[in-house]
Structure 1
Amino acid sequence: MSTSISTPTSDTDYRLPTKVRPTHYNLTFKTDLEDLNFKGFGVIDLDVLEETKEIVFNASSDLTVSDVSIRSEALKTEQVQSASEVKIQKDDERITVLFAHALPKGSKAELHLGWDAKLTGSMTGYYYSSTQHEGTTRRARFATNARRAFPSWDEPLLKATYDVTMISRADTVNLSNMPVTSEKPFLNATSSSESDKDSKNLGKLAKMFSLKSEGTTGDTVGKGWKITKFERTPLMSTYLLGFANGHFEYLESSYTSPLSGRKVPLRIYTTPDIIHQAQFSLDVISKVMPIYEQVFQIEYPLPKLDTLVAHDFDGYAMENWGLITGRTQAFLLDPKKSDLAAKKVVATVTSHECAHSWFGNLVTMVWWDNLWLKEGFATLVGEVIAIDKVFPEWKVDSEFINEELARALDLDAVRSSHPIEVPLPDANKIGQIFDALSYSKAASVLRMLSNYVGEETFLRGVSIYLSRHLYGNSVTKDLWKGIAEASGLDIPKMLDNWILKIGYPVVTVKESNDSVTVRQNRFLSTGDPSDKENETLWKIPLNVRTADASGKVSTDRSVVLSEREATIPLDTSKPFKLNAQTTGVYRVAYTPERLKKIGEEAAKENSVFSLEDRMGLVSDALILAKAGISQTSAALDLIKSLKNEKEYLVWSVIDSQLDKLNKILWEQPEEIRDNFDAFRRSLMKPLVNKLGYEYSLDDSADTIQLRTLAITAAADAKDPDVINELASRFEHFQETGDDSKIPYDLLRTTFVNAVRNGGRVEYETVKKVYKTPTTPSAKVSAMFAMTASKDKEIIEETLRFVLTDVQIQDITDFFSGAASNRESRRRIGEFFKENYDTLTNMFGGVFSLPSLVKSSFQELTTEKDADAVEAWFKDKDVSKYNLSLAQSLDRIRANAKWLERCKDDVADWLKESKR
């Protein structure tokens, strides 16, 4: 057998050939946590669809593949033949195996091969994660990327079944997608009680993996080996296979299927030091799983559902079927030290990953261009529909506006956005579309559709879609067929442009006494689109909200704007608003006079405009000003008119929109920044005075969140009373180690303000918390606090710390924190450039590198900045983050244009506002 290195013949040839198709994988992995390596052996059953002498599959260059042979009874010369040549296509992550004799069309074959690799901390493939417990470094193993863990046909369409066997140290725990069928010490596994066939096979494994079978303590380091076998999986895609080995403990529960009455066991695993923080996530799983079964009328098909919590994880969480995996912040919560924000994160991430059991796992997209079919659904159904049934007091459907919809509209307003369904031939670049469009915009479009046809009809259509594609693959039109059948509507005609076209519309409203004329154009944050950019016409549900003379409110959901412009009969002497409840994926631009009237009505005690209406109004007003469609001062007038608002979610939008404006003013003269802080204090300090600093078990979710927001925003706006109060509480913690005077909902802002307004002592205190956190949220709070210092020496020290003492998964948070600090905002970009090679080598995974690029540059605010960033990257290989870079450049230029348009307007308004 000879081996050679080659490169792909065509840049567009990213999909595997279709001459053979895998049907079953029999995989054995030996994990050695002492020597940090793993070995594997696989037998892959193949259907031969065309006569061929070559077999092509995926394998990362991290794997050393060996002993490749093919077995087939259809071979006339010999049933087994070894590979005559193995071609490694390193950049394309493929291996082509050549054989002397062709496999005939219609035959079946077994591909036999082995592989080995180092266990690294790269957070990709089969990697290790370390934690300190009881004085010992404990390592856990996780699999997150198929081709980096075993040779495979690593494409979502190529579903197969899997038998997994794991060989590991006897004192560790093995986990995979399915339940364990047997687990034995290696001595017993090769005893005479085994059948001759099993004994022979295990003997081969012992030789293959350099195992000694004379006793469970017969290996070189004094720890025996064991062999664990798991049940066969159902048909599934490679990316859903999961397995792990480590020193784990678990909590367990169960739920009863509302469809069959079957009791489904649930477990959550992590290392012993933090397992006590896993109960809340486990409780959420037990509550949402029966909801999904009931809603979709499809039973969860696997025998069990486990969750594994990692100390290091790229991204946030992953829906490996039957073995959900993710980082500590996604699943852990100390019940005695929990803040509401952390609880909401754990609940929504947990529910999101459970939703994938149906969206993605049971029914899988054909290719990554339909990623949204799983992520958009898991966002809407998992984070809104299911969570609303479990935690109705959180108002997650309303919060969606300021979380998912706002994220989607912000990203989709730049020229370098992309359609929800985006061509993506190269699977190695899929990390770039795990973004606000595949998740948040997709979920927003689905929410708009659900609102238009009715949630019950929408979910019935989704159930039809799932039922027709069980264990199979699907594309967008398959979903549309299901919802069309349930609703009787032409769904593709309504929705295709929302899915297949880039961007979204702004609807401009001009009025007369008895009608309004509405016009749609593509919205861009930099201003007017070109004619070519403005070709798309969306079908827009206008959802016209009106009130009659008696104040009775109604919403007309029948009006759909399909053309460029239309005139709608409407009594404009009465209050009205488009996009009622802010369910549409678009913005609405009113005349200044109408916006003022809407603001006056919105500010009333019993306004005809709902909570969701008021949220949408504030969001639209400032973003439209950013694009030059209206004046920023008009948006500030609207915000000021809502100063007596009582709802947390409206204040949440106000705060997030003011933060956007604050970020573009960061290098303006001190007088402007001081006046802007004074305006923010005028809004937030009355709320602080009203709500105070103490949290009670009797507080509603709204009260808790509004108190936290008001105190945080007032401190950010340099309110001396709030800063002093937080400093006093921190000082007690610093001197005594007792954190009882710091409410957990205020932990982050207390830490941040201590470092921002303090010095070395405060910094060292939060640094200690980062190194030995009591909870995941305490660790996150400490990370953001460490990046909040104004001291240039401490800033430099923190940046050095990032590359030497920080867990890899935490680096993105440190970058994000540094970018939010005006004293280090420019420095973080320079730091990225200085350490470019180190960072790009460190983050070979799919998620983190694009995030670092955005954090490093997107908050800059001048054309000169954009030109300089663009020039620096000109000679770099940007293929893994080109979308993020282009979006960052667009944001910088949009910031620059907004600043140029608004700085005098804002300065004048702030002066006037002080009078």
Structure 2
Amino acid sequence: MSDTVKPSDAYRLPTDVRPKHYDLTVRTDLEKETFEGVVKIDLEVVRPTASIVLNAAANLVLNPVSLASPTAAQLAPVETSYDEPTQRVRYTFPQEFAKGDKVTLRIGFAAPLTDSMSGYYKSTWDKGIYSLTQFEPTEARRALPCWDEPLLKATFAVTLVSRAGSVSLSNMPALAAPAIPGAGDEALYAGVEAKEWVATKFETTPPMSTYLLAYANGPFAHLESSYKSPLSGKVRPLRIYATPDLIHQAQFALDVKAKALPLYEQVFDVEFPLPKLDTLVASDFDAGAMENWGLITGRTNAYLLDPNNPDMRAKKQIAGTQSHEVAHMWFGNITTMAWWDNLYLNEGFATVMGESIILDKIFPEWKVDSEFINDILNEALALDAKPSSHPIEVECPDANMINQIFDALSYSKAASVLRMLSKYVGEDKFLQGVSIYLKKHLYANSVSRDLWEGIGEATGIDVPDLMENWVSKIGFPVLTVTETETGIRVRQDRFLEDGAVKPEDNETIWTVPLGLLTASEAGQSIVDNKAVLSEREAEFKIDTAKSFKLNADTHGVFRVLYTPERLAAIATEAAKSDSLFTLNDRMGLVHDAMALSKSGLLKLSAALNLLYILREEKEHLVWSGISTNLGIVLSTWWEHDDIVSLLNAFRKQLFAPLVKKLGYEYSTADTADITQLRTLAIGQAARAGDPAVVKELQDRFAKYVAGDKSAIPADLLNVTFNAAVVHGGAESYDEIVKIYDNPDTPSVKTSAIRALGASPDPQLLETTFDIILTRSRNQDVMYFFHGLQENFKARRFLRASFEKHYDEFVKRFEATFTLKGLVKIAYSGFSSEKDRAEAEAFFKGKDISRYDQALAQALDGIKAKSAWIERSTSDAQEWLENWKQASKL
């Protein structure tokens, strides 16, 4: 191999020196909204050098700088340079340091606390501000100069100097107050002896990556619990912190954390290594939550639940989020990916463990493995079906690319592939392999093959061969099933949502566990979990006179295409009360049918017919899949009033009977399934315009604003607020604004935000956008955009308003994940080639490097929907008209 520098090397730090330990002191002044500090970094010289290069963002003022070496107590740099694109500062010193030298770099730094939601930033609450960090993926450099790459692990000793009466938090427990040091650091401790300020020193961390470093300062209150380690018997304290006005809503999240930790220790056979695990709830937070080691952070709606009026959806979100972040304490924090191209090792694993395997052990009644199909697998397949998708393991040389791969591929597809592997080899063997992997890489870094080798050691299977194309290649297959005299022939081809598969798109051959379900002579299901398709096509001997199905229990990451006749037969069998096919099978059928219709491989009428056949379904999760897919059709034909009207009539016929059966009252005696089915049915019927349901919700809203907060159960906040704005005019809209300004809980506020986008009145939509621009929290803008995009009458307004204020949004969200989300929401709702061309024209000449993937995905979606409309409008109209006539509506 040549010595030519790879493009990625331009964005990676030199390896002449390696950090071993950071001694970090940060003084936070919440009154002046500033911070300053000193970091002393112990370095090991790997190769002779006179220059030291590290990361620092442009917002930091760096001064003074000195270096202590074996031959000099204090060296000042003779030259300093800064490269803004790579956020790197280079210090050149007057002498060369030898390999093996131990040197200490000391840098002072200062910056304002801004509302950027990245680096070290401020968050507001009713009585002022507080500060916290968000460093993943590459924002530690906004808070301190450092080696901001995951491979460069070091230990951290943190001291926080803050005003008396405030609470300081970090990854580790606090020690006794430190003595004021010398060496020019005295200014950071000014006021400590007079007790106007407090210095809090924390225990030194284990070796960890900079993106996991965390600290915070503010007027925090807390709840406390503990858990007993099943491995050592040690009892560890667990706390959750929030501002005093919110802390009473944090108990449920704390309880989940206490239940999850011992389960993770048992399945990994590795004890949680830190002395404590805190969670901090933040009112301004860019991502959903963050797995900082020992100090998890996250949004209010990721952790807070009203104990007096809890809703099931919020409970599930909180439990899933908390369990996901706890999974990272091992998978990501103890063992960390070597570089961001293996981000999926962190996020995919935390998703499948935290939101499925472990959560199922805590809440078996929630059927989380089944819910995985709706919420995670289907999201993954929807994104991966776009031409602009990327492999799970993807090159990401610079920071702009790194931010963009925090998407449904790194999380949901990776989790789905790992779930498929777990089901194929058996969950016990899978977890045993994970334990082997973790133990071999404790406090170190790893790549994909390390995980595959651990699972291979536990199972005796050639896991790298099985998994290679699933993680290194783009896309996934559709399996076409052709019936033969002796069984079935199965062929695999790349699946694309627009159906336009070119030969160069279709080169990958995946190793596909088929999950072949057949019927025994006695009519019982038999599942062959060892049947694998590892070539383009192959034949399998089965009796096609009996029921059969591929992808038993919907464990596989692929779609299955049957003939329309076979699909109808499978659907008819699935609709039986004593069906061979499981809940998971029925869910998979619904999602496959609509996706195949969108791609042109199946008629839309066949997919709609499948939904109709399942109209006597009892399970909420199947109904959830049905509603999602009807929503996809509605959102595609949103400007075709005749189709929308027919689809809404269809929705009403499906869901209104469920509303009549289940009613509007919630009880603690209800199962999770009944609770969610009631909420879903009322929501679908209301959005379809069912007059009885709309009136009921309007009546409840009137009682709510008159002071009877019990009139709207927490589960119905979203749909009730929405119906009030859609049907109640300016008067109801104004009431929602009041609720937004003074919400009882974070979930009430989020429901109000989304409802403010639901009005059909252009003037009220202008008012909503003015709220976004002038007084919305940064973290809430995404919710506003979702509310507007879901309103067909607001989609064009949203896009026009985003384009008008584009420069403001770019500046406001330049260092966050939010910007790419706003771009995707603003454009993904459209369905015509004209809209696609106009979007491309708007972005021509703009710097799209921070969101080019999100934009490409939105444009791909428009293209696919436009083709679907052209291909399927008459088919859909004919089926819906026939259904209407047969139903005598």
Matched with 1:478 is 450
Q: Distance in 1 between matches of 2:772 and 2:74?
A: 53
Matches within 5 A, 1:777-788: 777-788=747-758
Q: Distance in 1 between matches of 2:698 and 2:309?
A: 20
Correspondence 1:205 to 2:202: no
Correspondence 1:914 to 2:884: yes
Matched with 1:37 is 34
Correspondence 1:504 to 2:476: yes
Seen in structure 2, the aligned counterparts of structure 1 residues 818 and 764 have a Cα distance that, compared at 3 Å, is same
Post-superposition shift, 1:349? Answer: 0.3
Matched with 1:445 is 417
Correspondence 1:816 to 2:816: no
Matched with 2:133 is 142
Correspondence 1:680 to 2:660: no
Please give the per-residue CA displacement for 1:376-415, whole angstroms capped at 9, x wherever unaligned. 0100001111111111110000000000000000000000
Given candidates 50, 55, 64, the residue that maps to 1:53 is: 50
Q: Is the 8 A contact 1:206 1:213 kept in 2?
A: no
Q: Distance in 2 between matches of 1:743 and 1:231?
A: 45
Residue identity in the other structure for 2:752: A
1:567 aligned counterpart, secondary structure: strand
Please give the per-residue CA displacement for 1:315-373, whole angstroms capped at 9, x wherever unaligned. 11000000001110111111112100001000000110011000100000000000000
Correspondence 1:27 to 2:24: yes
Q: Distance in 1 between matches of 2:385 and 2:668?
A: 41
Q: Is the 8 A contact 1:430 1:846 kept in 2?
A: no
Residue identity in the other structure for 1:808: N
Q: Is the 8 A contact 1:317 1:325 kept in 2?
A: yes
Residue identity in the other structure for 2:593: A
Q: Distance in 1 between matches of 2:539 and 2:189?
A: 79
Q: Distance in 2 between matches of 1:131 and 1:107?
A: 48
Residue identity in the other structure for 1:248: F
- The alignment-based identity, stated in percent, is 53
Q: Distance in 1 between matches of 2:9 and 2:741?
A: 46
Post-superposition shift, 1:206? Answer: 3.0
Residue identity in the other structure for 2:535: E
Correspondence 1:724 to 2:702: no
1:878 aligned counterpart, secondary structure: coil
TM-score, normalised relative to structure 1? 0.95
Please give the per-residue CA displacement for 1:128-184, whole angstroms capped at 9, x wherever unaligned. 00100xxx324333343311110000000000001101111011111000000123x
Q: Distance in 1 between matches of 2:879 and 2:192?
A: 81
Given candidates 802, 817, 821, the residue that maps to 1:832 is: 802
Matches within 5 A, 1:266-415: 266-415=238-387
Post-superposition shift, 1:203? Answer: 8.4
Q: Distance in 2 between matches of 1:867 and 1:570?
A: 49
Please give the per-residue CA displacement for 1:212-244, whole angstroms capped at 9, x wherever unaligned. 46623xxxxxxx111110000000000000000
Matched with 1:799 is 769
Given candidates 660, 671, 676, the residue that maps to 1:700 is: 671
Q: Is the 8 A contact 1:269 1:306 kept in 2?
A: yes
Residue identity in the other structure for 1:140: S
Post-superposition shift, 1:210? Answer: 7.6
Q: Distance in 1 between matches of 2:375 and 2:505?
A: 27
Matched with 1:98 is 92
Post-superposition shift, 1:672? Answer: 2.2
Post-superposition shift, 1:100? Answer: 1.2
Q: Is the 8 A contact 2:342 2:448 kept in 1?
A: yes
Name stretches of at least 5 consecutive residues in structure 1 with no aligned partner: 1-7, 184-188, 190-197, 217-223
Residue identity in the other structure for 1:683: L
Post-superposition shift, 1:551? Answer: 1.2
Matched with 1:463 is 435
Q: Distance in 2 between matches of 1:560 and 1:817?
A: 44
Post-superposition shift, 1:676? Answer: 1.2
Q: Distance in 2 between matches of 1:180 and 1:420?
A: 39
2:503 aligned counterpart, secondary structure: coil
Post-superposition shift, 1:844? Answer: 1.9
Q: Distance in 1 between matches of 2:191 and 2:276?
A: 33
Q: Distance in 1 between matches of 2:423 and 2:321?
A: 24
Correspondence 1:883 to 2:888: no
Residue identity in the other structure for 2:161: I
Post-superposition shift, 1:497? Answer: 0.2
Q: Distance in 2 between matches of 1:12 and 1:791?
A: 53
Q: Is the 8 A contact 2:289 2:296 kept in 1?
A: yes
Q: Is the 8 A contact 2:120 2:143 kept in 1?
A: yes
Correspondence 1:169 to 2:163: yes
Seen in structure 2, the aligned counterparts of structure 1 residues 213 and 639 have a Cα distance that, compared at 3 Å, is closer
Q: Is the 8 A contact 2:120 2:131 kept in 1?
A: no
Please give the per-residue CA displacement for 1:305-324, whole angstroms capped at 9, x wherever unaligned. 01111000011100000000
Q: Is the 8 A contact 2:594 2:604 kept in 1?
A: yes
Seen in structure 2, the aligned counterparts of structure 1 residues 629 and 25 have a Cα distance that, compared at 3 Å, is same
Matched with 2:723 is 753
Residue identity in the other structure for 2:699: S
Q: Distance in 1 between matches of 2:355 and 2:859?
A: 31
Q: Is the 8 A contact 1:143 1:244 kept in 2?
A: no
Q: Is the 8 A contact 2:342 2:393 kept in 1?
A: yes
Please give the per-residue CA displacement for 1:445-490, whole angstroms capped at 9, x wherever unaligned. 0000000000000000000000000000000000000000000000
Matched with 2:115 is 121
Correspondence 1:845 to 2:815: yes
Please give the per-residue CA displacement for 1:224-282, whole angstroms capped at 9, x wherever unaligned. 11111000000000000000011101110000000000001001111000010110000
Correspondence 1:709 to 2:674: no
Matches within 5 A, 1:71-82: 71-73=68-70, 75=71, 78-82=72-76
Which one is further off, 670-679 or 591-600? 670-679
Q: Distance in 1 between matches of 2:396 and 2:73?
A: 40
Seen in structure 2, the aligned counterparts of structure 1 residues 493 and 10 have a Cα distance that, compared at 3 Å, is closer
1:180 aligned counterpart, secondary structure: coil
Residue identity in the other structure for 2:253: S
Matched with 1:652 is 624
Matches within 5 A, 1:491-890: 491-668=463-640, 670-734=641-705, 736-890=706-860
Post-superposition shift, 1:10? Answer: 6.8
Q: Distance in 2 between matches of 1:770 and 1:502?
A: 42
Matched with 1:194 is none
Correspondence 1:239 to 2:223: no
TM-score, normalised relative to structure 2? 0.97
Residue identity in the other structure for 2:671: S
Post-superposition shift, 1:593? Answer: 0.9
Which one is further off, 148-157 or 752-761? 752-761
Post-superposition shift, 1:528? Answer: 3.4
Please give the per-residue CA displacement for 1:71-98, whole angstroms capped at 9, x wherever unaligned. 111x3xx332101111111221110111
Correspondence 1:900 to 2:880: no
Q: Distance in 2 between matches of 1:845 and 1:321?
A: 22
Q: Distance in 2 between matches of 1:117 and 1:138?
A: 16
Q: Considering only aligned residues, what root-mean-square deviation do their CA atoms show, in Å?
A: 1.3
Please give the per-residue CA displacement for 1:517-568, whole angstroms capped at 9, x wherever unaligned. 1100000001031111100000111111111342111101121001111111
Q: Distance in 2 between matches of 1:119 and 1:240?
A: 20
Given candidates 396, 401, 426, the residue that maps to 1:454 is: 426
Matched with 1:195 is none
Residue identity in the other structure for 1:680: R
Q: Distance in 2 between matches of 1:650 and 1:357?
A: 34
Q: Distance in 2 between matches of 1:589 and 1:492?
A: 28
Please give the per-residue CA displacement for 1:611-648, whole angstroms capped at 9, x wherever unaligned. 10000001000110000001000001111011101011
- Aligned residue pairs total 878
2:544 aligned counterpart, secondary structure: coil
Which one is further off, 566-575 or 756-765? 756-765
